[in-house]
């Protein structure tokens, strides 16, 4: 069965002033049609870079060393700039973390959304503006017609985020990437935005790649989830499986670190050590310096992402029968 999005062994370096940072190392996962896939991990683990890689929006200092990204069967890495530009904003769209700075401050929001429609679907300005108003209504913005003329700074954070979502849905994409869509927004709005995303996903029949560091959101909204650590994919599987039986030691530590109401009064569990530098990442498995189950081989051999339970992959030598 071919999935909507297939990422295989994506390896990516960044050239920096201090050297070459090995930002992504053999990252692989799939997203099926109509599913919500959560990409979860600590800050700096490469989630956003992965998303940008899909859209081919990386800066010139980014060098793809290997791997493939297939979208609807086509290899994105082989596409030209022009072909990618046609895909971006129409077949795959992205909602960014900070809506306040992600909208152009000198153009009215109606214009900005309409522009996407005129460029990708060839509508003329009036039609596009009418569609924009319609979309504003769909995402729950009041007085859609009046809003067309407003500037981004005249809206609150929640409204700005809805505008971004409207823009993302304008051309009925197959894949919507949401990069921490609720981080910049307060808690009451978080729930509304997530609800909105799920409703629209059902209505429009699209897949969502939801990037977040918040496990609560993952539990509520995602069908499947991928856990990333220091540029590698540690574990991928159905949300219920991963939560109930985390395979990778990192995931297990993360689950333990989550505060629970029952554990009130007891000290919080944290993971010892620090996130490694990507300039000189640990050899073998990148998690081994902090792993309580680390064996000698873990420093030497890099574990493959293998399906150790049905529909549930993990990259850990523990499950490969290695004993030391």
Partner 1 sequence: MGQVAIRRRGTSHAFARFIARRAILSVFVVFGVVVVTFFLSNVIPADPAALWAGPQARPEEVARIREKFHLNDPLPIRFYYYVAALVTGDLGTSIATHRPVVADLLDFLPATLELILAAMVIAIVVGIPLGVISGIRERSWVDHLVRFLAIGGVSLPAFWLAVLLELVFVNKLGWLPVEGRYTDSLAIATSFREVTGFVVLDALLQGNPSVFFDGLIHLILPAVTLAAYPVGLVARMVRAMMIEVLGENYIRTAKAYGLPARLIHYRYALKNAIGPAIVALGLSFAFSLTGAFLIENIFSWNGLGQYAWDSSLASDYPAILGVALVVAIVYVVVNLIVDIVQSVLDPRVVLAREAS
Partner 2 sequence: MFGTRFAAFYRRHEGSLREFRSVARLIRRDPLALAGAGIIIAFVFVALTASLLAPYPNQGRGNSNLTEQLEPPSWEHPFGTDEFGRDLLSRIMFGAGLALQVGVLSVVLAFPFGVLLGVTAGYFRGQVGEAIMRVTDMFLAFPPILLAFVIAAALGRGTGAIIVAIAVSFWPWYTRLVHAQVLQVRSQPFVEAAVALALPHRRILRHHILPNSITAASIQASMDVGSAILIGAALSWLGLGPEPPTPDWGVMFNAAYRSASLVTYWWYGVFLGIALFLVVLGFNLVGDAMREVLDPKVRRRRIW
**Contacts (CB under 8 A) with partner 1, residues 112-131:** 115-116, 119-120
Return d(Cα 199, Cα 174) in angstroms, integer: 15
Smallest gap from Cβ 17 to partner 2, in A, equals 8
Strands of 161-315 (E only): list them: 175-179, 207-212, 224-229, 232-238, 306-309, 312-314
Q: How far is the CB of 164 from partner 1 (least distance, A)?
A: 8
The CA distance from 5 to 28, in Å, is 10
- Binding partner at 71 among partner 1, partner 2, none, C-beta below 5 to 8 Å by kind: none
Give the number of residues in contact with partner 1, rule: CB under 8 A: 40
Q: Quick one: 47 exposed, middle or buried, by C-beta within 10 A (0-12, 13-18, 19+)?
A: buried
Burial 303-312, CB ≥16 within 10 A → b, else e: bebeebeeeb
- CA–CA gap between residue 89 and residue 281 (Å, rounded): 35
The distance of closest approach from Cβ of residue 53 to partner 2 in the complex, given in angstroms and rounded to an integer, is 11
Residue of the chain from 28, 50, 90, 251 that contacts partner 1 (CB under 8 A): 90
Q: Report if residue 279 touches partner 2, rule: CB under 8 A.
A: no
Q: Which of 4, 5, 6, 14 binds partner 2 (CB under 8 A)?
A: 14
Give me the sheet containing 74-75, strands edge to edge.
Answer: 19-31, 5-16, 62-71, 74-75
Beta bridge partners, 229, equal 232
| 319 is a contact residue toward partner 1 (CB under 8 A) | no
Does 265 participate in binding partner 2 (rule CB under 8 A)?
no
93 sits near partner 1 (criterion: CB under 8 A): yes
- Least distance in Å: CB of 241 to partner 1? 32
Are 171 and 116 contacting, i.e. CB atoms less than 8 angstroms apart? yes
Residue window 24-63: x/- pattern of binding to partner 2, with contact defined by CB under 8 A: ------------------------xx--x----x-x----
- Tokens at 92, concatenated: 């795959």
Q: How far is the CB of 221 from partner 1 (least distance, A)?
A: 18
Stretch that binds partner 1, among 16-24, 37-45, 111-119, 213-221 (CB under 8 A): 111-119
Residues 82-141 that bind partner 2 (CB under 8 A): none
Tell which one of 167, 184, 230, 298 touches partner 1 (CB under 8 A).
Answer: 167
The residue count of the chain comes to 324
Q: How far apart are CA 255 and CA 278, in angstroms?
A: 24
- For residue 84, the minimal CB distance to partner 2 (Å) is 15
Contact 205, 125 (CB under 8 A): no
Instruction: Please name every residue paired with 208 in a beta bridge, in sequence order, or none if there are none.
Output: 36, 176
Q: Check: CB of residue 208 under 8 Å from CB of residue 126.
A: no
48 binding partner 1? (CB under 8 A)? no
Cβ 9 to partner 2, closest distance in Å?
A: 22
If the CB atoms of residues 105 and 265 are measured against partner 2, the closer one turns out to be 105
Q: Which residues pair with 36 in a beta bridge?
A: 208
Helix (H) or strand (E) holding 160: helix 157-169
Q: How near is the Cβ of 95 to partner 1 at its closest, in Å? A: 9
From the list partner 2, partner 1, none, pick the one residue 94 interacts with, judged by a Cβ distance below 5 to 8 Å according to partner type: partner 1
Q: Is 305 helix (H, G, I), strand (E, B) or coil?
A: coil
Binding partner at 176 among partner 2, partner 1, none, C-beta below 5 to 8 Å by kind:
none
**Residues at the interface with partner 2 (CB under 8 A):** 14, 48-49, 52, 57, 59
């Amino acid at each position: 069965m071919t999935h909507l999005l297939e990422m295989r062994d994506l390896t990516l370096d960044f050239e920096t002033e201090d050297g070459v940072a090995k930002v992504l190392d053999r990252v692989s996962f799939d997203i099926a049609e109509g599913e919500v896939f959560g990409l979860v991990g600590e800050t700096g683990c490469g989630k956003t870079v992965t998303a940008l890689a899909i859209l081919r929006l990386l800066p010139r200092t980014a060098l793809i060393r290997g791997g493939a990204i297939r979208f609807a069967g086509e290899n994105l890495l082989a596409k030209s700039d022009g072909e990618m530009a046609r895909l971006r904003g129409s077949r795959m769209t992205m909602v960014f973390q900070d809506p306040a700075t992600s909208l152009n401050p000198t153009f009215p929001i109606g214009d900005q959304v309409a522009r996407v429609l005129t460029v990708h679907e060839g509508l003329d300005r009036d039609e596009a503006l009418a569609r924009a108003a319609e979309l504003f209504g769909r995402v729950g913005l009041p007085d859609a017609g009046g809003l067309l003329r407003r500037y981004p700074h005249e809206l609150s954070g929640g409204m700005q985020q809805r505008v971004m979502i409207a823009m993302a849905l304008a051309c009925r994409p197959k894949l919507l990437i949401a990069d921490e869509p609720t981080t910049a927004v307060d808690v009451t709005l978080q729930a509304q935005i997530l609800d909105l995303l799920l409703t629209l996903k059902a209505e429009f029949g699209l897949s969502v790649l939801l990037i977040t560091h918040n496990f609560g959101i993952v539990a509520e909204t995602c069908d499947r989830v991928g856990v990333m650590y220091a540029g590698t994919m540690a574990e991928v599987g159905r949300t219920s499986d991963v939560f109930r039986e985390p395979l990778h030691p990192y995931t297990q530590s993360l689950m333990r670190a989550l505060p629970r109401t029952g554990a009130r009064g007891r000290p919080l569990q944290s993971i010892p050590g620090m996130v490694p530098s990507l300039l000189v990442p640990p050899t073998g498995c990148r998690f081994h310096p902090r792993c309580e189950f680390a064996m000698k081989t873990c420093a030497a051999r890099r574990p493959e992402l293998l399906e150790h339970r049905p529909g549930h992959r993990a990259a850990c030598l523990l499950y490969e029968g290695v004993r030391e």
